[in-house]
Amino acid sequence: MTLRRDFHQHPELGCEEHRTAGIVARRLTELGLTPRTGVGGTGVTAVIEGQAGPGPTLLLRADMDALAVTEEADVPFASVYPGKMHACGHDGHTAILLGVAECLCAHTARLRGRVKLAFQPNEEGVQGALAMIADGLLDDPPVDMALGLHLWAGTPVGEIALAAGPIMACADRLEIVVRGRGGHASAPWETIDPVVAAAHIITALQTVVSRNVRADRKAVVTITQVAAGDTHNVIAERATLIGTIRSFEPETTRQVRDRVRAVATGVAAALGAEAEVTITEGPPPVVNDADLTSRVRAACLTVAGADQVIAFEPVTGGEDFACIAQQVPSCFFFVGARNEGEACDQPHHHPRFKIDEGSLTVGLRAMLASVDHLLGA
Ligand SMILES: [Zn+2]
Ligand SMILES: [Zn+2]
């Protein structure tokens, strides 16, 4: 709790988690471990060897980064840095994993195999997991399976939500540049108006999900930013649309990307303009391994009541734990942090985002029970 509040008060953006990583490494050293720092930038790893004989290597991952948000939450340990805030709960993830490390270090006699701890930078920039993997996260010792958790504003505190299969979306960034021919606003027949073409493209893109994607599949196409022109009497040369595509199955992902490209370029061409579509592929969807998820669920049932271990409804948010889950059987689960009575009811990334700190204990116990279930002697 003290550590979580300290991290909360001193948030660091992706790739800048020097203070946080320093505290993590120092704490792990105090526990008798030999942390490796600078993994994938500011990441930290450490291995806890079990003393109860051979067994698999289980990776436990926590993310450490904050967001470029100015905190408005009414807490005594609010961020001291304007423009930076732990508005997603990653401060809690880091504190929970340090707590898990402390408990595991005290009980290595009960542990088969080993636990590898990963404190990851830059989740929000969706580059941190890949950077750590490129830096050997899943090798030496090779990782056999992985667990991660997210404190979750959508679920009441005390509850744990999990599900097998795709649970978080593939999150692409979309940019469309519409090029026309500028000119005098009073003589549009002498121009190719990119604003009108952009407006038609935005409208036509609404058909991709409603007319192309099967009803039993999920996808989202959202335009979030529209930019063109400088004044009232000039038709602009170009318009820029920015947005995001979310999807779960590779086939749907391909289909939506293809349709967005075809619709944007086709509509622009019909109006005499040109559209250049750039889709920056985001992290893949988080796909939970069915067998591992059922074992984690069984473990959670030892620390929470049957009515408190609930099914997780897939969400269209992205999460770069997906890059780990793509390589080894994994389970990413959600620990309820919502408490309306305590004003812990704002969505993630909101300036008044607040967790019920009771969730920290639930997360710690769920993670420890899972390790015990998977590696306990
Ligand atoms: Zn977030
Ligand atoms: Zn997050």
Q: What is the pLDDT along the chain (377 residues), one digit of tens a residue?
A: 899 999 999 999 999 999 999 999 999 999 999 999 999 999 999 999 999 999 999 999 999 999 999 999 999 999 999 999 999 999 999 999 999 999 999 999 999 999 999 999 999 999 999 999 999 999 999 999 999 999 999 999 999 999 999 999 999 999 999 999 999 999 999 999 999 999 999 999 999 999 999 999 999 999 999 999 999 999 999 999 999 999 999 999 999 999 999 999 999 999 999 999 999 998 999 999 999 999 999 999 999 999 999 999 999 999 999 999 999 999 999 999 999 999 999 999 999 999 999 999 999 999 999 999 999 98
- Within the chain, strands assigned E span 36-39, 43-49, 57-63, 114-120, 145-156, 160-162, 165-168, 170-179, 183-184, 219-228, 234-235, 238-247, 274-280, 286-288, 309-311, 330-338
Question: Closest-lying ligand to the alpha carbon of 124?
Answer: 1
The DSSP line for 179-191 is: E-B-EETT-GGGS
> Max alpha carbon distance in the chain (Å)?
82
Q: In the prediction, which pLDDT does 377 show? A: 83
Nearest one of 40, 219, 48, 18 to 135, comparing CA atoms? 40
Q: Which two tokens stand for residue 284?
A: 């893949």
Cα separations in angstroms, 317 against 100, 144, 248, 285, 310 = 26, 26, 10, 9, 19
Question: Which residues have their alpha-adjacent CB atom under 5 A from ion ligand 1?
Answer: 88
Residue (of 262, 309, 315, 261) closest to 286 by Cα position: 315
Residue-wise over 330-349: b if at least 16 C-beta within 10 A, else e?
bbbbbbbbbbeeeebbbebe
pLDDT, residue 159, reads 98
Q: Provide the residue type at 276 as one letter.
A: E
Q: Please, how many CA atoms are within 13 Å of residue 280, restricted to the half-sphere of its CB?
A: 10
User: Which ligand lies nearest the alpha carbon of 67?
Assistant: 1
Cα 89 to middle of ligand 1, angstroms: 8
pLDDT at 152: 98
Query: Which residue among the candidates 17, 65, 159, 320 is catalytic per the annotation?
Result: 65
> In angstroms, what is the span from residue 91 Cα to ligand 2's centroid?
10
Kindly identify the ligand whose nearest atom is closest to the C-alpha of 89. Answer: 2
Q: What separation in Å is there between the alpha carbon of 349 and the centre of ligand 1? A: 6
CA of 169 to the centre of ligand 1 (A): 13
Ligand nearest to the CA of 63: 2
pLDDT score recorded for residue 268: 98
Q: Is 123 a catalytic residue?
A: yes
User: Distance from the CA of 135 to the center of ligand 2, in angstroms?
Assistant: 22
Provide the pLDDT for residue 1: 81
List, in order of start, the domains of the chain with CATH numbers. 2-168+286-375 (3.40.630.10), 170-280 (3.30.70.360)
Q: Please tell me the distance between residue 90's alpha carbon and the centre of ligand 2 in angstroms.
A: 6
Q: Under a CB-based contact definition with an 8 Å cutoff, are residues 243 and 226 in contact?
A: no
Residues measured by CB to lie within 5 Å of ligand 2, the ion: 88
**Ligand that comes closest to the CA of residue 94:** 2
Q: How far is the CA of 328 from the centre of ligand 2 (A)?
A: 21
Q: How far is the CA of 88 from the centre of ligand 2 (A)?
A: 5
Nearest ligand to the CA of 321 is 2
The CA–CA distances, whole Å, from 145 to 139, 202, 293, 326, 370 equal 12, 42, 11, 11, 12
The arrangement of strands across the sheet holding 274-280 comes to 219-228, 238-247, 170-179, 274-280
Taking the centre of ligand 2 as the mean of its atom positions, its distance from the CA of residue 273, in whole angstroms, is: 39
Q: Is 109:51 a contact under the CB 8 Å cutoff?
A: yes
Find the 240 Cα to ligand 1 centroid distance in Å. 26
Q: Which of 123, 124, 172, 320 is catalytic?
A: 123
Among candidate residues 275, 253, 258, 259, the one with its CA nearest the CA of residue 197: 275
CA of 322 to the centre of ligand 2 (A): 12
- pTM over cut 0.85: yes
Give the three-state DSSP class for 247.
strand
DSSP-derived pairing of the beta strands 145-156 and 219-228: unpaired
Residue with tokens 């309820």, as numbered in its chain: 336
Tell me the CA–centroid distance for residue 155 and ligand 1, in Å.
Answer: 16
158: nearest Cα among 292, 357, 374: 357
